[in-house]
Structure 1
């Protein structure tokens, strides 16, 4: 597979505060990366930096060979970054359908395709964002990123705080998006086994640096290593 994303010696943070230091990794086209680490280790900052929402101090980011780190966030979206932040950031004063059509770009993912994947949203397409449950808002945030027809999807703790039935629905959807549809993705998640099961690669951060990089299978098959790196058991 061809290389899609390359991050080289990246340092970034907020204002003068440096959170990430010397971060380097790569991701192939069509692959999924589990981005893991304890709370406060820089995972969200890394996704925010890829999306253009932090201050970058050093290093480079390239997407399909194009320099991404020189672009503002809206141009990164146009270049192929689809971002679902922890806050979801849906337009709460717009309907479900308006949220999707307002940002849609030409491509395989359409609002109708999102409705087919998330029937709950189809049933609520005229509801305002404020009228959705937390799980439905998360589905909408994922759908809104998809209709941008990105080359790389960034998901920041997509399962956090959701009911188990919604977690199952979202995991199935993410598996379909990445495995069946072949969309590259980077997923931050506090429950490593759920995401490692649908990922190809894994990167573990600690104190803003990469302390482990390898296949997802390596971590899936070695709970002692997961425990040592993350301080959690299977």
Structure 2
């Protein structure tokens, strides 16, 4: 299987502050990577760096043969990055339908397919972003990223703060997007078992460095190892 993403010796942060140190990882086409770690270990900074929202101090990022680190953030969607940040960043003054159609690019993922996957959004097509619940806003944020028809989907804590029924809906959708549709993804999540179940590989960060890299199955089958890596005491 062809390599899609390659990160080599990456250091990045905000201004002069370096948060990530010497990060290296790779992801093949059609595969999903679970990005794990305690709060403040650099997971969001890594996602933001891939999206172009931090200052990169060293290293390289290659996406499908394109030197991603040389592109400004507003050009990265055009070469295949679909980003769902923690803040969701939907256009709250636009309707659901306008949110989707305003950014849609030609490809397999259309607003109609997003509505089929998230019937809640179909029922609220004419609602403004401000009129949606937190879970519906998250669905819309995922839908906005999909209609860009990306090569790589970046999801930063997509389940955070959501009701259990919405968590189940989103997990089902993410499983479909990655497993059934074969879209490559990197997923940051505080609840590792939920994401490890639908991931191929896993990377654990601590203090801005990679402290573990391996298969998701390995971590699923060794909860004690997960607890140790994440600093959890039973």
Do the two structures share a fold, i.e. TM-score over 0.5? Answer: yes
> Is residue 227–residue 233 contact of structure 1 (8 Å, CA) maintained in 2?
yes
Matched with 2:224 is: 224
Give the Å deviation of 1:190: 0.1
Matched, 1:72 2:79: no
Matched with 1:103 is: 103
Give the Å deviation of 1:232: 3.4
> Structure 1 regions of 5+ residues with no counterpart?
none
Within 5 A, what are the aligned runs for 1:67-146? 67-146=67-146
Distance 1:14 1:180 in 2: 37
Distance 1:51 1:115 in 2: 25
> Structure 2 regions of 5+ residues with no counterpart?
none
Q: Does the residue aligned with 1:69 lie in a helix, a strand or coil?
A: helix
Distance 1:167 1:231 in 2: 24
Distance 2:233 2:196 in 1: 14
Distance 1:159 1:66 in 2: 30
Q: Does the residue aligned with 2:26 lie in a helix, a strand or coil?
A: strand
Within 5 A, what are the aligned runs for 1:1-234? 1-232=1-232
Distance 2:157 2:27 in 1: 19
Q: How many residues align?
A: 234
Give the Å deviation of 1:66: 1.1
Q: Does the residue aligned with 2:109 lie in a helix, a strand or coil?
A: coil
Distance 1:106 1:192 in 2: 34
Give the Å deviation of 1:231: 2.4
Distance 2:224 2:123 in 1: 44
The one-character-per-residue Cα deviations of 1:41-82 (angstroms, maximum 9, x if unpaired) are 000000000000000000000001110000001111100000
> Is residue 109–residue 147 contact of structure 1 (8 Å, CA) maintained in 2?
yes
Q: Does the residue aligned with 1:204 lie in a helix, a strand or coil?
A: strand
RMSD (Å), alpha carbons: 0.8
Distance 2:76 2:225 in 1: 35
> Is residue 4–residue 64 contact of structure 1 (8 Å, CA) maintained in 2?
yes
Q: Does the residue aligned with 2:150 lie in a helix, a strand or coil?
A: coil
Runs of at least 4 residues off by over 3 Å = none
Q: Does the residue aligned with 2:148 lie in a helix, a strand or coil?
A: coil
| TM-score, normalised with respect to structure 1 | 0.99
Distance 2:118 2:223 in 1: 33
